[in-house]
Structure 1
Amino acid sequence: MGFVGKPLPKARVNPWRCYHQNIQEEIDLSMAERDQAAMSVSSREGLLVPALIVGGGILLTMLPVTMIVPALKELVGVRFQVGAFWVHAFVSTSLIGATLFAPLAGAIIDRNAGRRRVLVAALVGNSLCFVALALAPTFWMLMMARFLEGIMHITALSAWMALGAELSPGGRSGRMMGALAGMLILGITVGVPLGGVIARASVEGVFWAAAAISMVAALFSLLLRHRRPESTRPPGLKECLQVVHANPWLLLPYAYTFIDRLSIGVVVSTLTLYMTDIMALNPAQRGVLLSYFLLPFAFLSYPFGRLSDRVGRGWMMATGTLLFGLVYMSYGYVTGDTMRLTMMLSGVLSAAMFAPSLAICKDLSSREYYGVVFAGYNVAGSLGFMIGPLLGGGLLVTLQHSLSRIEAYRWTFVVVGSFEVLCALVSLPFLLRLIRSGRIK
């Protein structure tokens, strides 16, 4: 009790000891920051080679898709003596196979730790399908091989995208997905003239060249060593197929890619006819004019993906789509140099939408479900590309009953462009909710 009133003794403080302790803490913190920065640089360098492999693989995988376009009539119509309807059906058959099989393909990709085995098998299978297309003795065997080729292609492309998403650093997925988007569009762009050059020497050589390129892509994928951590439990098939149902926010990027591919489907069909019927352009001139669209699309996807990491993806995707829709509506009113400028602007705005939409898919999904998520993204795009030519042709034929030919073209482009505008306006409140919640930038 006698100690209650006594003050506690003051602790002695050595100022020199405190000074040296603070200095040591600063040194330790500086070393930790330096080590962390060094690890970050090392990590980036370690991901560079796998990223280049994935980008190059996507380029090789996409080349055969459009290589057959320049010789489509000779490869199908002339060879098997079938009409224009069946030539168009040949194109759609691949998309039907891809659409039907994509959910299962995504689940298979995610069930495989590392995903490389599925990728190699799909690319080898794709190569064999092109061999079957070259050797098919009847039209119906040709269509069966085409159906299987669509399955193999969607599996390979979804696997490449899943691997690319794995390589995306946290918070910086825009640049990676933008680079992959650029390689995808570049493959589509280069495939058309490459197929034309091969077809001049040998029409059926296009199929054999496509088979060789797919096999090269399979061999190229063997260079990839990046694997998913072994501690990650592969999801079950039922879990994979329920991913999109459990995460309805994925419908936002899916809707954007559906509308964008639908619009591009109208470009490669109805706009090409407009260039022929109204602008009186020959095939070479039409190809050059379309390149004004596709080249900016390909080369600006990476810069826009990188920009989305800084300024945000939601606003960029919605703004790019809105402006693209407005430009699209003007197609029937421009000619000459103005049309070239319009095509270039369309390519720029498409890149501004495409790269962020891929990055949003990655942001909204977990690592173990990338295969399913990107398979769904590819399905939405394939459906849009398949419906686009049918919609454009249907609108054009219907409008020609009451309007002149040029007015029918103009209103077709106005209607399709309005879909882009509506997509941006309707989705904007939902994108704002995602941005406020912090799930996307």
Structure 2
Amino acid sequence: MKRLDAGRVGAPSGSAEGTSASVRWALAGLSLSMLLSSLGTSTANVGLPTLAQVFSASFQQVQWIVLAYLLAITTLIVSVGRLGDMIGRRRLLLSGISLFTVASVLCGLAPTLWLLIAARAAQGLGAATMMALTMAFVGETVPKARTGSAMGLLGTMSSIGTALGPSLGGLLLAGPGWRAIFLVNAPLGVLALFLARRHLPADRRDAKSGRGRFDHVGTLLLALTLGAYALAMTVGRGSFGPLGIALLLTAVLGAGLFVRAEARAASPLIRLAVFRDPLLSASLGTSALVSTVMMTTLVVGPFYLSRALGLGEALVGLVLSVGPLVAALTGVPAGRIADRFGAHRMTVAGLAGVAVGCGALSVTSVTLGVAGYILPLVVTTAGYAVFQTANNTAVMADVGPDQRGVISGVLNLSRNLGLVTGASVMGAVFALASATTDVTTAHPGAVAHGMRITFAVAATLIVAAIALAVGGRTLARRRPGGGRYPGA
């Protein structure tokens, strides 16, 4: 743990007790950063109907309050990870927390809708920095043997933010008003900034990490590519008209140009050689597939619970909160299990749990009532928590210091792309399986049938993810030398 003590104020050098306390406080700062980035999405979603009334705007206009935040994260998370590797992760994380905090205040004080949207984009940039660099800092703050536990803690805080957001947002809307859902981030941001500044290890500029220039061309191409894809998935909502098709074609063209630019760049944003590692490629692919499936519970669940089971809004919200609550309770134990039994083994075990849960949802009946939905959901979410913690640990445990930021950014990106894809594609599968153009008015039997078909597709995707994880592990064992991240 000498790395933690070097170059910062904190515990006395050489004090094991002081070092342990510094590790805990450093993790507290990282955890709070992860919590804030999750709250930034979930609390704003609840306020959209109110904001539409306040600003006399349509839903298509106020949805940009959420889209601006998500697009900023999706398009920039890899770039800020790489920038952190180059100029210093501590310095950039402190800047990201500061930006998030200031932007939160600007959101709460915004006099017009478009100024609010602009402030949300700035808040998203801060959140992208926080998400990318918190995971990257784990390797510098905890021993390798405890990487899983630390990843589990970060996953737990992310789940708590997702679960807490709707209820916290509702309370703030009913009390102080809509501005409070943004201003509440300010004191938490100040606390996170204090903890990070006080306890995170100082940046070290070695010859390798300091060499080269930032890849502006690659950054621009990747941002345009990801932005076009995310807009196609979110604005189109599964119905691809001319605009959606044009955006998808733009994303495909941008991806090709990005790969070409990275292959020629002297100091690329992403070293394409790292994707030759079968473990990394499999981990990113499984992360995207599992996130796609998990979004199904948020897309399909509300309609099944309200239309097929006839639950009221309050009960629907309560049932939907079970998933994030289970993930929050499972995260830390999952990290300890990953440390004990191995990250790769627990990755497959977590995927198996998700597959069992989705399979159970694909055959459940309305006669089983709410229990027929909640019990498989608990299995699915617990499996997801185990998978996410173990998969993140497997990816980040052996990354070199000069690549932690960008690899963390790519890992977070795979998850975000899975979420936006799941919202669109699985929503389209649900609508098609329900044989209706408007799910909100569909017959309860049709909704139940659509739910079962959609989760059958989800279970199939998880089986493919298991095959990908096992195949990646097999290929890695056959590689000469078994090295990780070639060319890094």
Pick the TM interval, shorter chain.
0.7 to 0.9
Change in CA separation of 1:295 and 1:405 when aligned onto 2, cut-off 3 Å: closer
Verify the 8 A CA contact 2:36 2:161 in the aligned structure 1: yes
Structure 1 position 82, deviation (Å):
3.5
CA shift for structure 1 position 425: 1.6
Flag the 1:435–1:229 CA change in 2: closer, same or farther, 3 A. farther
**Farther off after superposition, 394-403 or 177-186:** 394-403
- Corresponding residue of 1:361: 395
Aligned to 1:17: none
TM-superposed deviation, 1:105: 0.6
Q: Percent identity?
A: 20
Out of 234-243 and 348-357, give the one that drifted further.
234-243
Q: Distance in 1 between matches of 2:329 and 2:276?
A: 31
- More off after superposition, 319-328 vs 354-363: 319-328
Counterpart contact for 2:358–2:380, Cα < 8 Å: yes
Change over 3 Å in CA distance of 1:93–1:60 after alignment to 2: closer
Q: Which residue identity does 1:62 align to in structure 2?
A: S
SS state at 1:68 partner: helix
1:103-122 aligned within 5 A:
103-113=78-88, 115-122=89-96
- Partner deviation per Cα, 1:308-364 (whole Å, 9 max, x = no partner): 222222222123113303312433525322322222222211111010111112124
CA distance in 2, matches of 1:56, 1:435: 37
Q: Give the 3 Å change call, closer, same or farther, for CA 345–426 of structure 1 in structure 2.
A: same
Q: 1:243 to 1:100 in 2, by over 3 A?
A: same
CA shift for structure 1 position 243: 3.4
Q: Give the counterpart of 1:56 among 25, 32, 49.
A: 32
Q: Is the 8 A contact 2:93 2:129 kept in 1?
A: yes
Q: Is the 8 A contact 2:86 2:209 kept in 1?
A: yes
The correspondence of residues 232-381 of structure 1 with structure 2, limited to 5 A, is 233-235=208-210, 236=212, 237-238=214-215, 239=267, 241-243=269-271, 245-249=273-277, 250-331=280-361, 333-334=364-365, 335-381=369-415
Match of 1:11 in 2: none
Quote the Cα distance in structure 1 between the aligned partners of 2:328 and 2:406: 25
- 1:412 matched residue in structure 2: 454
* In 1: Cα distance, 2:291 partner to 2:16 partner: 37
With 80-89 and 373-382 compared, the bigger mean Cα shift is at 80-89
Q: Which residue number in structure 2 is paired with residue 207 of structure 1?
A: 182
Equivalent residue, structure 2, for 1:14? none
For the 8 Å contact 1:292–1:344, the answer to whether it is kept is: yes
Q: What letter is aligned with 2:49?
A: K
- Aligned pairs, number: 401
Task: Quote the RMSD (CA, aligned, Å).
Answer: 2.8
Name the SS of the counterpart of 2:321 in structure 1.
helix
TM-score by length of 1: 0.82
CA contact (8 A) 2:149 2:339 kept: yes
Partner SS for 2:309: coil
Question: Is the Cα contact below 8 Å between 1:60 and 1:217 reproduced in 2?
Answer: no
State which of 67, 70, 80 in structure 1 corresponds to 2:46.
Answer: 70
CA gap of 1:353–1:208, structure 2 versus 1, over 3 A, is: same
1:424 corresponds to which residue? Answer: 466
Aligned AA (1:429): G
Equivalent position amino acid for 2:152 in 1: G
Q: Is the 8 A contact 2:286 2:469 kept in 1?
A: no
Q: Structure 2 CA distance, aligned partners of 1:212 and 1:119? A: 17
Amino acid at match of 1:223: R
Task: List alignment gaps of at least 5 residues for structure 2.
Answer: 1-13, 216-266, 437-444
Cα shift at 1:41? 8.0
**For residues 214 and 42 of structure 1, do their structure 2 counterparts lie closer, same or farther at Cα, with a shift above 3 Å needed?**
closer
For residues 183 and 19 of structure 2, the distance between their equivalents in structure 1, rounded to whole angstroms, comes to 40
- Partner Cα separation in structure 1 for residue 197 and residue 15 of structure 2: 27
Deviation at 1:89, TM superposition (A): 4.5
The structural deviation recorded for 1:270 is: 2.1
Q: What SS class does the counterpart of residue 316 from structure 2 fall into?
A: helix
Is the partner of 1:69 in helix, strand or coil?
A: helix
Q: Distance in 1 between matches of 2:164 and 2:337?
A: 25
Runs of at least 5 residues in structure 1 that lack an aligned partner in the other structure? 1-37
CA contact (8 A) 1:234 1:368 kept: yes
Deviates more, 1:40-49 or 1:350-359: 40-49
- Select the residue among 87, 98, 102 that pairs with 1:128: 102
* One-letter identity of the residue aligned with 1:408: G
Inter-CA distance 288–311: structure 2 relative to 1 (3 Å threshold): same
Per mean C-alpha deviation after superposition, the further-off stretch among 371-380 and 122-131 is 122-131
